[in-house]
A = this chain, B = another copy of it.
Amino acid sequence: MIDKPKFRRRKDARPGEIIEAALDVFADHGFAQARLDDIAERAGVSKGSIYLHFSSKEDLFRAVVTKSIAPNVAMVRDLAHSGDADFVQLMEMLPRLLGQVLKASQVGAVAKIVIGESRNFPALALHWHNEVVNPMLSIFTGLIAAAQHSGRVRSGEPRLFAVQLAGPVMLGFLWHEIMEPIGAEPIPFEDLLHQHVQTMLRGMLINLDKIDE
């Protein structure tokens, strides 16, 4: 009773706490099944307080998506500027980074919701596309196009090459998120990334000296 300060007076911290709690609840139950009561309770605030910072459940979800996206966007930007590395090296690094982020953060959980709710909240899918998927794809695309110009990569649509690179990363992650929890045989993520990059490089490069031992 007495150990529960009713008013904490730290407005600035609240939205973040609420978003964190909401992230967990959304990740656990999806958008529709998530209850604001649960989010409020987990955030340690009253339900009404949520509305001091977010105008609706949907708005809160948007914030969650944006927030969970932010660090990834930063990562993507950093990757974009690490362009001085060798093409082959980058090809080996990037999917690994991608995978690390997916697993380290709740991005994957949010991504699943965005996928499931894409028809109900197209704006979120758009946000996701603009901030995460497309930039990341563009980076790969740019690298590949450059490598083609310098004669190291075979002809072919660079954007499709990028999709080819990213696809198994995504599938591996979804497997990890969806199938492994229900008892399916795991897909070793690191091995998958390594083998995929090797295979893709062999399929894309004109001169295989670099990757042949």
Contacts and interface: CB of A to CB of B under 8 A. Distances in A.
Interface in A163-190: 163-164, 166-172, 174-175, 177-179, 181-184, 187-188
Copy number in this complex?
A: 4
Contacts of A183: 126
Interface in A81-122: 112-120, 122
A163 B187 contact: yes
A129 B127 CA distance: 30
A204 B195 contact: no
Interface string A25-44: 00111111100000000000
Given A170-B170, A171-B170, A164 B126 contact: no
A163 B156 contact: no
A160 B187 contact: yes
B112 A118 contact: yes
Interface residues of A, number: 59
A194 to B, nearest CB: 9
A36 to B, nearest CB: 15
Contacts of A57: none
Contacts of A168: 163-164, 166-168
A159 B201 CA distance: 19
Contacts of A177: 118
Contacts of A159: 187
B192 A116 contact: no
A161 B182 CA distance: 23
Contacts of A171: 163, 166-167, 170-171
A200 interface: yes
Contact of A119 (B29, B129, B203): B29
Contact of A199 (B29, B30, B164, B174): B164
Interface of A: 27-33, 112-120, 122-123, 125-126, 129, 133-134, 156-157, 159-161, 163-164, 166-172, 174-175, 177-179, 181-184, 187-188, 191-192, 195-196, 198-204
